[in-house]
Structure 1
Amino acid sequence: MWTGTLYALAAGLMWGLVFISPLLLPDYPAALQSVGRYLAFGLIALPLAWMDRAALRQLGRADWLEALKLAAVGNLLYYLCLASAIQLAGAPLPTMIIGTLPVVIAISANLRDARRDGQLPWLMLAPSLALIGAGILCVNQAELETLGRITQGELAHYARGALFAVGAVACWTWYPLRNAGWLRRHPERSPRTWATAQGIATLPLALAGYLLLWLFMGTRGSAFAMPFGPHPWLFVGLMAAIGLFASWLGTLCWNAASQRLPTALSGQLIVFETLAAMTYAFLLRGRLPAPLTLGGVALLVMGVAWAVRIRPRPLAVAVGEE
């Protein structure tokens, strides 16, 4: 249990790096940063695949098809929905909706995977979910204030942005459930090998997305300097770092956590990504968070501490006690 929690913490620390890129490259389109990240992930996976070629050869056609589905939905479609939501509604509304992921995944997994993982008793799970939900509200207080200032003319854009954000939540609720299912059915497979396989599956999709975006921007007469923008070395360096640490290493750690933890618990541990992203952002800004934000962080930590104390029970036992 604790080893899996530490792997989830490491994944959150890696994934939090993704939120630095928009701060350091504010003049780069979100879609370009998305396909750039996953193109780097795929390219980095190539030499790693050569080193792990013996284990990768053991994957069958169904396994590669599963890796392709996970890459398409959990990587590219998720970020396409998220980028579209931000472009339509700005950052505050999508941030609030995406912030519900730990609660949504935990509830979905406890309903869907109880027979496989054992069920986390709902009465014991409720305080953890309540603490995490309250923490999310506190750390997103600025976003809530922004939503209160929406004008009538902006309502349609915000509504469409909200739909895309809900789509992003659906994608990344499906991904950890499906990914954990494959890992649980193949306990003999290495989390490293499965992370590399997803990188290889991502490569052709990300390459096609990058070329299509380049073509689209060209036909629209965009002044943006493709293929690497006005700061090519910074862009390439950031995409390489994020591709290695956030995409490959983060996926590896998440796979290792998914093999060890009930999905209903690992879903809640996605709050580590939120905490890491906040920490990195405030370090870049060189200032401390507001007291309400610190209170939200404390609630998130308390929620996680409560969650890791809960042990799954066979479905019949858990239902009988309720």
Structure 2
Amino acid sequence: MISDAEKQHIPRGVLCGAGAGALWGLVFLAPALVNDFSPVQLAAGRYLAYGFMAAVLLAPRWTRALSMPGRKDWIALIWLSLLGNIVYYILLSRAVQTGGIALTSLIIGFLPVAVTLIGTRDAHAPSVRSLVPSLCLCVAGTFCIGYQAFLSDSASPHTLQGVICAVGALVSWTAYAVGNTRCLSRLHHISVQDWNLLTGIVTGALSLVLLPVVLFVTTAHHSGARWLYFMGVSSAVALLASICGNALWNKMSRLVPLTLVGQMILFETLFALIYGFVWEQRWPRLMEVVAFVLVTASVVLCLTAHKKKPASS
């Protein structure tokens, strides 16, 4: 059972989760803005910028910050950075470029279902039965988004490739969301911001490995203006999504239980769709409006489930 003190932190955690979702939704738009660049180039550009910014922000307390994580923590940072950042963004970028923002949002929208179900194994977590209404609404909402996406896009090899990449991104980010929350719950001596910046440094170091790959696979030639634009988009995504968005997410992860962490990912899906509508210069269709309502109701029901006391046996 969640204590009264923990319940008081939930509203603040939800606000942090909504802010993170608004910033993270931008990562769905970036591949569309620079669709003439490959997913590997997008990942390398974003995370090199993320690593550089993290190093600058951590510079005043560099020695102390690097000495706080133990060997186990550094190993965790490596695999979290790899799965939750590099692998996830490469797959997501490819999914957006081949399947579109709406289709990718649909599949990533199943993240709350996966993370919430994993979170029910935690002590004092709400029972699966109490979360069933919320999860059903979540599934219904993402189904509506997917129905609209498949209705407007005829089946093609490119669409199938987008689905496969989006499913891969779903698996990768589910592992990150669970693993990152577990780490933050035990690392009380490291602030959420320092953990975010350390993740950025590790991700930046890992992205250096991508540079030879970028040089090897790049065949398209871009003008100087396009490279400057690409660098601007990469830097903006690194600052807004990786630095600011991750900081809000990590703060939220210490304020709410894991089962509620899964529901907070829905905000990313909602904002990604909004940005997609703006990019496509259109209003949402009926099924998409229904999806917004269902997803919002899902979060509200999940909040209710966390406030209820379990029945005595």
Range that drifts further, 238-247 or 95-104: 95-104
Output the CA distance in 2 between the equivalents of 1:159 and 1:295. Answer: 25
1:223 aligned residue: 220
1:105 aligned residue: 115
For this pair of structures, how many residues does the alignment match?
A: 303
1:279 partnered with 2:274: yes
Change (3 A) 1:92 1:274: closer
2:155 to 147, 150, 153: 150
1:77 to 87, 105, 108: 87
1:256 aligned residue: 251
2:131 to 118, 121, 125: 125
Q: How does 1:1-322 map to 2 (within 5 A)?
A: 1-53=10-62, 54-85=64-95, 94-111=104-121, 114-115=122-123, 118-145=124-151, 149-150=154-155, 154=157, 162-217=163-218, 222-225=219-222, 231-311=226-306
How much does 1:28 deviate?
2.0
Q: Could you state the TM-score of these two structures normalised by the residue count of structure 1?
A: 0.84
Range that drifts further, 240-249 or 29-38: 29-38
How much does 1:94 deviate?
4.6
Change (3 A) 1:276 1:92: closer
Output the CA distance in 2 between the equivalents of 1:37 and 1:135. Answer: 30
Read off the aligned partner of 1:124 and give its amino acid letter: S
Percent identical: 32
Output the CA distance in 2 between the equivalents of 1:312 and 1:121. Answer: 12
The answer to whether the Cα contact below 8 Å between 1:120 and 1:312 also exists between their aligned partners in 2 is no
Output the CA distance in 2 between the equivalents of 1:13 and 1:303. Answer: 18
Output the CA distance in 1 between the equivalents of 2:100 and 2:273. Answer: 18
Question: What secondary structure does 2:25 align onto?
Answer: helix
The answer to whether the Cα contact below 8 Å between 2:24 and 2:241 also exists between their aligned partners in 1 is yes
How much does 1:25 deviate?
1.7
How much does 1:89 deviate?
6.0
Q: Could you state the TM-score of these two structures normalised by the residue count of structure 2?
A: 0.87
Cα deviation per residue 1:193-242 (whole Å; 9 max; x = unaligned)? 0000000000121122133212222xxxx1323xx875122211111111
Question: What secondary structure does 1:260 align onto?
Answer: coil
Read off the aligned partner of 2:57 and give its amino acid letter: L
Gaps of 5+ in 1: none
Read off the aligned partner of 1:102 and give its amino acid letter: P
How much does 1:150 deviate?
2.6
Question: What secondary structure does 2:126 align onto?
Answer: coil
Read off the aligned partner of 1:57 and give its amino acid letter: S
Read off the aligned partner of 1:200 and give its amino acid letter: I
Change (3 A) 1:31 1:229: farther
Cα deviation per residue 1:268-309 (whole Å; 9 max; x = unaligned)? 110100111122222334432112211211111111111122
Output the CA distance in 1 between the equivalents of 2:224 and 2:71. Answer: 38
Cα deviation per residue 1:95-132 (whole Å; 9 max; x = unaligned)? 43322111111112213xx22xx221222211111111
